[in-house]
A and B are shown apart, each in its own frame.
Chain A
Amino acid sequence: MAEVKSGFITTTVEVEGRTETRVVERPAFEPTPWGTDAALTHVGQSPPRVDAPEKVTGRARYTADIQRPRQAVALFLRSTVAKGTITHFDATAARAVPGVLAVMGPGDAPAKTRLFPSAISYAGQPIAAVCAESESVAWRALRAIVVQIDSLPFAATFEATAAPDAPKVRSAGNLAEPIVVSRGDVAAGLAAAEVTITREYRTPVALHSAMEPHGAVAEWEGDRLTIWESTQGIFRTRNDVARVLGIAQSQVRVIKEYMGGGFGAKNGAGAHTFTAALLAKQLQRPVRCVLERDGEQMDSGNRPATTQRVTLGARRDGTLTAIRLDADVPLGISGWEGGPAQLYHELYACANVHTTERFAHINASGMQAFRAPGYAEGAIGLEGAMNALATTLGIDPLELRRRNFAERDPRLDRAFTGNALRQCYDEAAERFGWTAPRPAPDRAHPERVRGRGVAAQTWPTGGGPPAYATARLNNDGSIEIASGTQDLGTGARTVLAQIAADAFGAALHDVRVVLGDTERAPYAGNSWGSMTTASVGPAVRMAAEDARAKLLDAASQLLNVPADALETRESRIIVRDSDRTMTFAEVTGKLGNVMIQGRGSRGPNPSDRAIVTVGVQMAEVEVDRMTGVVRVLRIVAAHDCGRVINPTLARSQLEGGILQGLGYALFEERRLDGATGVPLNPSLHDYKIPTMADCPAIDAWCVQNVDADANHTGARGLAEPPLIPTAPAIAAAVADALGVEVSELPLTPWRVLAALG
């Protein structure tokens, strides 16, 4: 490891496709990058998830499992009207229900919390909270509240909100500033094209639908607040709460033990957090506020709908001359402009790209990042158009993608730290049998037709600073690694333990990873943007190596050899080329109460390089032409995420993304009633996510590729990429099967039959 001058520098980090500028600390030293031939024992293997025993025994505690002494329960009353004003609110009867402890309604919460305004902006918006001794009492009391809402005209579609006489959705205006991004000269590119195709695609509103609803437990001890919350961002939640409640961050502790899925929806404090905190303060009792399922489906954010008008221009040989996108994105009442366009700028080599995204606000619940926000939608448009282009040109769609492979990041003209997309294409084609002859049609069932489709993806996965980790070597040789990051079921606890074990030269079972507690661990960012492994892994490695160096220093004195003559392996210190060894425990035991500590932080990313995870997926489907029902038979997926820390856990992420992509392709759409703007399907039956009966054969892997230029662990992120190409590959396979495209998702029987005429 090389000593580097420390200090603060300004650098950029890509988060969910957005580039953010940050001031970060340059770490005290940079570990030598683990290259392709790094001698690693645990990294690259698949030890079982360290917290799996907790999950299979029911011992794992999620937010709703926490039972603090004298804990009370809060539930929300929600608007059944899309837009209006509360003109009457009477909680007298509710307060009189035995067991009710408090009611918080319009005007009761501090303005900064934005809780319970009188102005209603979407159906499902919380109007009030009831806190009671039990959930059943709170449920009854909710129904005793008398509310009058004078409804106002609303706009719940892009067309409605963009119309000249549209009702006012937000005071600042219904339409946000369009985002226009351009490179080259699209008009010239289209003029030079020998073939152009134009398509319009529509994608639905999709809901994260985590099995565990949002929730928080809040408890005050004097002026100190502890919050147990299912969150992807303990520090962000802490900071939100401190800022909004006007208290010091050091007064707030946020703990996330286990959480039942996030997928982007659980990225900061929400109404449930502030409600629990305020009621807990008022009552001087712990308060749990967990969303009921309909509230979860109505009010936890969503992937917004898009309409994408795509034009591609190409030469006869398939090389792209122009890409143009015009997209409408109704964001809901709130949300950031994570639209479909960025993928169009990043996936293919094309000199001329022009995208316009129009964002609008509607009277519906707000957008929140949902696993690969923008890119999952954009892939439907871009990859759909590419497949249509392939059909028009008579070129194999995989070959079309090969011909437009981008050697450098085309958006900012940067070199990649690594990009094995072509290797993904080759391996996937081989495993899928992409060029194998089609199976003969089933004579007994001529109405069943099969098809195959392909789609590619890219997604920024460099991670980045700041992220910190500490290592503690106890005097019995056991090791604790702490970092304020989160394991959402993503496997961070395990992956970080593997990295630490290799960095130390320790046995895996001697390493315990502590996450998810702002009090016990130093800062790490949200677990979003596929950032955790790539951001925290290097910090953990550095902390472990920092501690190891001190351990070797101590050992060298005990063994009377120079420190550089020592190696570590499976919690032993070995004098190189000899049979002299000591265990970690023997060394630390001799040190008495000295606690060896290491500190690690994530350094900046290489400047001016694109750090991405890329991949391709192929789908085979069977469609019943008489009923319009689509069955996905198999998915083959090959992705390049750099070094794979734990292949089994990586494959689980791939399969999980693929299954969400399958739901997006076939079943999932949030429906609003046109007449009232009220959600029609806020349930886990009517909003249909895939069951095991819908699960196809999945063959998914990461290609062998270590990316030591991305960061010194060689690993990039993987959480979001596998969701991006699945739905487009399925849509392409359906088009292949039917001979006609279905341009609106999800591919329900009515849409398929309509496309067949």
Chain B
Amino acid sequence: MRLTINGRPWEGDPAGETTLLGLLRDDLELTGTKLSCDRGECGACTVQLDGRTVHACLTLAHGCDGQAVRTVEGLAGPEGALNDLQAAFIAHDAAQCGFCTPGQLMAADALLAANPRPSDEEIRAWMAGNLCRCGTYPNILTAIRAVAEARSRG
């Protein structure tokens, strides 16, 4: 099977039961995407598949054949320049322990791609699929709002 992972082509033949999460973390050492519940109940493993968010823990690797995967490692630009969402998460203290942060970023990135000017209610509804036990929700909301506003100003 073939994938594009953060823009780079990859080819392999993982075992049939390998999940996308297992492929990323164990085989490709892309450990930015986290394993927390392994049941699609928390969003910590959120990645983008052809631009749409999915739970990598419940996605079979082979089921993604031919698709493009984007993970938190793919957000930064060349030479590691942080993208505006990452910078906003830093500026607005949207990461405490940081364990849910990769999933939050991938979900937020997908939100702004689908809906560049989301209302607070839309942000909440979209981001509800990413649990945070440290309670960073207010700052994540602020960060997303700030990025949306900055982007709309051009």
Contact = CB atoms under 8 A, between A and B. Distances in A.
Interface of A: 48-49, 51-62, 64-65, 67, 134-136, 208-213, 258-261, 263, 292-293, 488-491, 648-649, 651-652, 655-660, 683-685, 689-693, 695, 698
B139 interface: yes
A51 B98 contact: yes
A692 B98 contact: no
A55 B139 contact: no
B34 interface: yes
Contact of B72 (A52, A57, A61, A211): A57
Nearest to A491: B96
Given A49-B90, A213-B36, A60 B137 contact: no
Given A52-B95, A57-B86, A489-B96, A684 B131 contact: yes
B146 to A, nearest CB: 14
Interface string B21-44: 010011001111111111101101
Interface in B117-153: 123-125, 127-141
A49 B95 contact: yes
12 contacts: A48-B90, A55-B89, A57-B80, A65-B31, A67-B31, A136-B15, A210-B99, A211-B100, A259-B99, A655-B139, A656-B96, A684-B41
B105 interface: yes
Contact of B97 (A58, A59, A211): A211
The 3 A-B residue pairs with the shortest CB-CB distance, nearest first, are A58-B32, A489-B97, A260-B99
A692 B136 CA distance: 9
B141 A695 contact: yes
Q: Which of B41, B76, B96 has the most CB of A within 10 A?
A: B96
Contacts of A208: 133
A60 B93 contact: no
Contact of B105 (A56, A261, A652, A655): A56
Interface string B1-37: 0000000000000010100001001100111111111
A683 B37 contact: yes
B91 interface: yes
A630 to B, nearest CB: 17
B33 A58 contact: yes
Interface in B19-77: 22, 25-26, 29-39, 41-42, 44, 71-73, 75-76
Nearest to B90: A52
A695 B131 CA distance: 11
Contacts of B114: none
Contacts of A491: 96
B82 interface: yes
A213 B38 CA distance: 11
Contacts of B89: 52, 55-56
Interface residues of B, number: 58
Contacts of B42: 211, 684
Given A56-B105, A59-B32, A652 B26 contact: no
A65 B96 CA distance: 18
Nearest to B127: A692
**Residue of A62, A648, A652, A659 most packed against chain B (CB within 10 A):** A652
A56 B104 CA distance: 9
B58 to A, nearest CB: 13
Given A258-B97, A652-B96, 11 more contacts: A49-B95, A55-B89, A57-B32, A57-B80, A64-B31, A136-B15, A211-B36, A656-B96, A657-B135, A689-B131, A692-B124
A211 B102 CA distance: 12
A626 to B, nearest CB: 22
Contacts of B71: 58
A58 B102 contact: yes
Given A48-B91, A52-B95, A293-B38, A211 B26 contact: no
Given A260-B98, A683-B37, A689-B133, A652 B128 contact: no
A656 B134 contact: yes
A685 B41 contact: yes
B135 A659 contact: yes
A659 B98 contact: no
A125 to B, nearest CB: 21
Given A51-B98, A52-B89, A693 B124 contact: yes
Contacts of A134: 26
A64 B137 CA distance: 24
A261 B99 contact: yes
A520 B125 CA distance: 45
A659 B137 contact: yes
A213 B97 CA distance: 13
A212 B31 CA distance: 13
Given A488-B97, A489-B96, A660-B133, A56 B90 contact: yes
Given A57-B76, A656-B135, A211 B99 contact: yes
Nearest to A290: B35
A60 B133 contact: no
B36 A48 contact: no
Task: Give the one of B31, B34, B75, B97 with max A CB within 10 A.
Answer: B97
B93 A489 contact: no
Contacts of A211: 34, 36, 42, 44, 97, 99-100, 131-134
Contact of B141 (A260, A658, A692): A692
Contacts of A651: 93
A232 to B, nearest CB: 11
Contacts of A693: 124-125, 128
A56 B87 CA distance: 8
A491 B91 CA distance: 14
A491 B105 CA distance: 20
A56 B101 contact: yes
Contacts of A259: 97, 99
A723 to B, nearest CB: 10
Contacts of A658: 135
B31 A57 contact: no
Contact of B39 (A60, A261, A489, A685): A685
A53 to B, nearest CB: 7
A566 to B, nearest CB: 35
A684 B40 CA distance: 9
A292 B36 CA distance: 8
A168 B116 CA distance: 62
Contact of B101 (A55, A67, A490): A55
Nearest to A489: B97
Contact of B31 (A53, A61, A136): A61
A742 B98 CA distance: 36
Nearest to B72: A58
A615 to B, nearest CB: 16
A268 to B, nearest CB: 19
